[in-house]
Amino acid sequence: MTSSSQQSTAASKDICLSIQNTTISYGSYEAVKNVYCDIPRGKVTAFIGPSGCGKSTVLRALNRMNDLIEGCSLKGSVLFDGADLYGPSVDPVEVRRRIGMVFQQPNPFPKSIYENIAFGARINGYSGNMDELVERSLRQAAVWDECKDKLNESGYSLSGGQQQRLCIARTIAIQPEVILMDEPCSALDPISTLKIEETMHELKKSFTIVIVTHNMQQALRVSDMTAFFNAEAVEGGSGKVGYLVEFNETEMIFNSPSQQATQDYVSGRFG
């Protein structure tokens, strides 16, 4: 009921992350239920849906960021190149080094711009030329021009949009395989948003990207694949539980979705 038939077509592709019958709960309250989703390598996959549908929760499950939330637990499995991220012997630190994350609020470290980039790289055992890495990462995140003259100033001396691109650069610098982005533009103005979207087009050449967005236009602009999540009231329960309605190529989701709910949502007839 929650999984769609499209995932069989995805199986033939090169799968990077595979979410298999995953249910995530906060304490005894289920936030999102029975999600199946195969995220292809080297593409941009967007998670869309109304607020409270669990799309951010699922995203955070992809690099075990939910571990930081007290009482959050996961059933099912998430495979990354065939390795179960939730296996008993898995070190979440190893996971996060391969699957980086950009957050909703720009969150540079209260350190210099240079150190913001170098810190992650250094703890990940990077031993090459640090100056070069810093410059390359900032260039890739399209924020080098704004930063090059003030590398020793605090990351917080930048504007919000620049801070977010600094955070993207920081993530690039740890050389992950996947970059997760949790509504990266929701706190930014339109011009900064545009810049970040342009950056993403560049990044997808090197990384698999999964982005959560509440902005359908953005999903349409940047993503190759789109997953639509929705939430429904639980019988007898107080809250809502999220589930995956439909997962397909972005074009299909927006032009000829197979589910009525998706149709309603993408055409804006939805709360």
Segment holding 172, helix H or strand E: helix 160-173
Instruction: Return the structure tokens found at 5.
Output: 């038939």
Concatenated DSSP letters for 93-149?
HHHHHHEEEE-SS----SSBHHHHHHHHHHHTT--S-HHHHHHHHHHHTT-HHHHTT
**Span of 5-13, 21-29, 88-96, 190-198 interacting with another protein by CB under 8 A:** 88-96
- CB of 203 closer than 8 Å to CB of 42: no
From 76, 90, 214, 249, residue interacting with another protein (rule: CB under 8 A): 90
From 28, 89, 238, 260, residue interacting with another protein (rule: CB under 8 A): 89
**Span of 103-111, 226-234, 236-244, 251-259 interacting with another protein by CB under 8 A:** 103-111
**Span of 97-105, 145-153, 240-248, 252-260 interacting with another protein by CB under 8 A:** 97-105
Which neighbouring-strand residues pair with 248? 226
Please, which residue, 65 or 219, has the CB nearer to another protein? 65
Nearest to 78 by CA among 32, 49, 38, 28: 38
The reply to whether 103 sits near another protein by the rule CB under 8 A is yes
- CB of 225 closer than 8 Å to CB of 247: yes
> Which residues bind to another protein, rule: CB under 8 A?
14, 41-42, 63, 65, 68, 70, 80-83, 85, 87, 89-91, 93-98, 100-103, 105, 107-110, 119-120, 123-124, 132, 136, 154, 156, 167, 170-171, 174-177, 205-208
